[in-house]
Every structure is written in structure tokens, then in C-alpha cells.
Amino acid sequence: MLTKSAAKKFFIIGTVVCSGCFVLLTVDTISRVPKQTNADKITPQVIHGKDLWDHNNCMGCHTIMGEGAYYAPELTKVYERRGEVFIKSMLKDPASMYPGQRKMQQYNFTDEEINSLVAFLKWVGEVDLNGFPAKPDMGPAAAKAATMTLSQIPTPTRPVVYDQVCVACHALQGQGGVVGPALDGVGTRRAHDYLVSWLRDPLAVKADSKMPKLPLTDEQIQELASFLSSQK
């Protein structure tokens, strides 16, 4: 039968061995993390971004690297998914991007601060996270990805900015957000020039529009207007 002193020995030896292994693994991890996280790309701007991220408790709603609260979107790959235009507009005026939806605080960030946060999010997106977040493997998203790679049929080329920004609120062929109207057939309803002026400043065309003025370049506006005109 197990004695008390044997039990004590088991506890002490087990704990010491495991703690020792843990400390050694930590030393090894510390030496490998800089390469895996591209530590050379942690510029003062990225550090400033992380500082803002921490001091406004962004993790209190969002998750990053899968850590935080579960009230607002996961932001690890947001730079790739939404792009700078979307992120900057969101940070400038959160209420304008998703009118009537779940709210984000207005922080009144300066342009410099917004650029730092973008730099931080860009850096986070490039860290090797051992496969996280996993790509969706079921349903329409997975099916779409499969047809793309299997049959090599080029899908009609959509501007990158459409896939990053517009899709957050608008749907096309049933894919996308439901905040704004669907864009199927928009090319028959609206002329190219109308779309250009609309994209430049929606509120100038229609004063009570809920769509925000987005910081798009002329090139992006032309690209989008041509694409939307082709939706007949």
C-alpha cells in the first residue's frame, strides 16, 4: 500500500521534473519566437499599434490570435481579409461602417494612430500561427475554393477592394453582407458615371444614405464602377 512519504515523493519528483521541462521548453521557445513572428518587422509603428491595442482593451471585444472576448470579429487576418481602406474607415468612424448593427466605441484616433494600428494588424497577420485560423472546409466557401482549384476556371475578376470592403455590407449572388442592398443587376439600374459619383461620396448623391464615404483612390473607384456596371 502506498505510504504518505511515497505519495509526497511522487508529488515532489513529478513537479520538479515537469517544471524543469517547462522551463527548458520556454528557453527554446524564446529563442525560436523571433523567427516565427518576424520580430525584425516589429517597427516602432507596430509597437505603437500594439500599445494602442492594449491601452484601449481591444481584446475586451475582439480576439487576436484567437485570444480575447467573443463579441467582435477575430482580427488576426483582418489585414488580408478587409484591407487598409476598410480598417481605416472603421477606426475613423466605427458607427458608419455597420449602421444599426453591433456597436464599436468611437475612439477619435488620429491618422497617425490609425496607421500604427494598421501596421500592428498587418504584422499580426504575417505571424506563422501553425495553421490558425483554419480555412472553412464545409459549405459554400469550401465548395467555391474547390472549384477554383480543381477546374482552373477563372472566375470573373472582381477588384480586390470589392472582396475586402463592399462584401462586408452588400451581397452578390447571395454571397456577402445584408446591411446594404444586394448588388445583383446594379449595372442595369445605374449608369457608370452615377456609380463613380456615388462611390466618391454617397452622401453628396443621396443625403440620407447610410453608406459612409470611403477613402478610396480614383483608380479603385474606376475599377469598382466598371465591375459594378458589368453586373447586369
Q: Binding to another protein (CB under 8 A): which residues in 142-161?
A: 142
- What is the Cα–Cα distance from 59 to 124, expressed in whole angstroms? 14
For another protein (CB under 8 A), the number of binding residues is 74
Tell me the window of 66-74, 84-92, 181-189, 205-213 that interacts with another protein (CB under 8 A).
Answer: 66-74
What is the full DSSP assignment across 180-192? SPP-TTHHHHS-H
Tell me the window of 33-41, 203-211, 214-222, 223-231 that interacts with another protein (CB under 8 A).
Answer: 33-41
63 closest CA partner among 75, 51, 54, 52: 75
133 closest CA partner among 65, 79, 80, 81: 65
Smallest gap from Cβ 197 to another protein, in A, equals 28
Task: Report the 10 Å Cβ neighbour count for 212.
Answer: 19
Q: How far is CA 72 from the centre of its chain?
A: 11
| Stretch 102-141 residues interacting with another protein (CB under 8 A) | 102-103, 105, 124, 127-141
The reply on whether position 57 binds another protein by CB under 8 A is yes
| Residue 133 preceded by cis peptide, ω within 30 | yes
* Torsion of Cα atoms, 119 then 165 then 173 then 158, to 10°: -80
The reply on whether position 230 binds another protein by CB under 8 A is no
Candidates 18, 146, 148, 203: give the one binding another protein (CB under 8 A). Answer: 18
* Torsion of Cα atoms, 122 then 123 then 127 then 133, to 10°: -30
| Stretch 163-182 residues interacting with another protein (CB under 8 A) | 168, 177-178
The reply on whether position 95 binds another protein by CB under 8 A is no
Q: What's the CA angle centered on 231, arms 228 and 232, to 5 degrees?
A: 140
- For the chain, what is the radius of gyration of the CA atoms? 24
Smallest gap from Cβ 67 to another protein, in A, equals 6
Inter-residue contact 201 to 211 (CB < 8 Å):
no
Tell me the window of 12-20, 183-191, 199-207, 217-225 that interacts with another protein (CB under 8 A).
Answer: 12-20
Smallest gap from Cβ 184 to another protein, in A, equals 18
Based on CB atoms, which residue is closest to another protein, 4 or 232?
4
Smallest gap from Cβ 171 to another protein, in A, equals 10
Based on CB atoms, which residue is closest to another protein, 8 or 192?
8
Smallest gap from Cβ 47 to another protein, in A, equals 5
